[in-house]
Amino acid sequence: MKKKPIIFRAVKSFLDDDVPAMAAQLAFYINTAFFPFIVFLFIIISSTPLLDESALYDLIAFLPNQTATIVLDGLRQVTASRSLAVITGVVSIWSMSNAVATVSRALNKFYDVKENRNILYIRLLGIIFALLILVTIILNFILLVGGSLIGAVMIRYLPQYYALWHILRFLVPFVLMIVLFASMYKVMPCVNLSFKQALGGAFFTSCLWIVFSSVFSYYVNNFSSYDIIYGSIAGIVVLFTWIFVTAYIILIGGEVNSFLAGHFSKRKREF
C-alpha cells in the first residue's frame, strides 16, 4: 500500500489532535492575561532611566493602529498609579501561567501521553515560563529600541563593529524567541525530549508568528473594514483575532515537533 504524502499525514495529525479547540482555550487564557501582563511590563520599562513613555510606542508597534490606541489609552489610566504595580504583577504572572499550563495539556495530547506530574509542579513551570516570557520581551525591547543608542556609541568609538551590531540587534531577539519556544516545547509536555528535538517547532513558530503579525498589522491598517463592521470595539476584535491566531501558531509549533518525533521514530523502526 502506497504511503500518503507527509503533508496529508501532517494535516490528519493536526485534525485528530483537535488543535483548533485547544487554540481557542489557549487564546482565552492569553486574553485574560494580556492586559495585566502588558500593564506590568510597561510599569517595569517606564521605570527604567534609559526609556521614556515615547519609547513604549515601539513595544506595541506590531499591533494594528486601532488596537494599539486602545491599549495605550488603557495603559495611561492604569499605570498612572504605581501602587498597582505589585498587584498587577502577581495577577499578570498568574494569568500567564494559566496559558502556559494550557500549552502543557495541549502538548501532552499531541504526544498521546497522560500527565503524571504533580499539579503544583506544572503550575510552578507555568510561573517560571511566564517570568521568562517577561524577561525575553524586556531584553528584546532593549535590543530593538535601545539598540539605536548603543549603535550611536559604537559609531563613535567602535565604528568597525557597527555593521555587525546592526545585524545582531535584530538577530538576537529572533534567537531568544526560538530559545524560549524550544524550552517550552521541551519542558512542558510529559515526555523526554532533547532541546534539539524541540528546535524545529520553535523555529517554525517564531518565523510564522513574525510573518503573521507583520502581514496582519499591515492588512488591518490599510485594507480591512473592522471599524465599519464593529464600530468602537473594532480594536478589541482585532486584538482578540490576533491573540487567537497567535495561540494557533504556538500550538502548531508543538504539533510540528510531535509529528516530526513520530515520523522519524517510525522511519528508524523501518530501517
> What's the whole-number average pLDDT of the chain?
76
C-alpha cell at 246: 497567535
Q: Is residue 241 part of a domain?
A: yes
Average pLDDT over residues 135-143: 73
Q: How many domains does the chain have?
A: 1
Cα–Cα distance for residue pair 113/130, rounded to 1 Å: 24
CA angle, residues 56, 51, 219, in degrees to nearest 5: 25
Q: Is residue 234 part of a domain?
A: yes
Asked if the model's pLDDT at residue 266 lies above 50, the reply is: no
Q: What is the pTM of this model?
A: 0.79
pLDDT at site 193: 85
> Where is pLDDT greater, at 14 or 243?
243
pLDDT digits (tens, 9 = 90+) for 159-191: 776 677 777 777 888 898 999 999 999 999 988
Percent of the chain at pLDDT > 70 equals 65
Q: Is residue 1 part of a domain?
A: no
Q: Is residue 80 part of a domain?
A: yes
Q: Is residue 28 part of a domain?
A: yes
Asked if the model's pLDDT at residue 226 lies above 80, the reply is: no
- Do 39 and 92 meet the contact criterion of CB atoms below 8 Å apart? yes
pLDDT at site 181: 93
Average pLDDT over residues 237-265: 81
Print the domain residue range for 261: 6-270
